[in-house]
Amino acid sequence: MSELPDYVIKNREHWDKHADSWVAMGERAWNRNPSWGMWGVPESELQLLPVDMSGMDAIELGCGTAYISAWLIRRGARVVGMDNSERQLATARRLATEHGVDLELIHGNAEVVPKPDESFDFAVSEYGVAIWSDPFKWVPEAHRLLKPGGELVMLGNHPLVMCVQDFTSDAPATFTLMEPYFGMGRIDWDDGDDQGTNFNMPVSDWFKLWGDVGFDILAYHELQSPESGDEVSFFVTKDWAHRYPSEQVWKVRKR
Ligand X SMILES: C[S@@+](CC[C@H](N)C(=O)[O-])C[C@H]1O[C@@H](n2cnc3c(N)ncnc32)[C@H](O)[C@@H]1O
- Residue 210 touching ligand X (CB under 6 A): no
Backbone angles phi and psi of 60, in degrees to 5: -110, 120
- Residue 199 touching ligand X (CB under 6 A): no
Distance set, CA 188 to CA 191, 195, 218, 239 (Å): 10, 7, 31, 26
Distance between CA atoms of residues 169 and 153, nearest Å = 30
Distance between CA atoms of residues 206 and 158, nearest Å = 11
- Residue 84 touching ligand X (CB under 6 A): yes
Stretch that binds ligand X, among 93-101, 124-132, 142-150, 223-231 (CB under 6 A): 124-132
Residue of minimal Cβ distance to ligand X: 64
- Residue 38 touching ligand X (CB under 6 A): no
Distance set, CA 109 to CA 9, 68, 136, 165 (Å): 9, 18, 14, 27
Residue of 128, 149, 126, 129 lying closest to 139 (CA atoms): 129
Stretch that binds ligand X, among 47-55, 94-102, 129-137, 165-173 (CB under 6 A): 129-137
Residue of 86, 146, 83, 137 lying closest to 111 (CA atoms): 137
Report the residue number, 24 or 177, with the smaller CB distance to ligand X: 24
SS3 57: strand
Q: How far is the CB of 177 from ligand X (least distance, A)?
A: 26
Stretch that binds ligand X, among 51-59, 82-90, 163-171, 198-206 (CB under 6 A): 82-90
Q: Which of residues 102-121 bind ligand X (CB under 6 A)?
A: 109-111
Give the residue, chosen from 83, 141, 151, 247, that forms a contact with ligand X under the rule CB under 6 A: 83
Binding site for ligand X (CB under 6 A): 8, 11, 15, 22, 62, 64, 68, 82-85, 88, 109-111, 126-129, 132-133
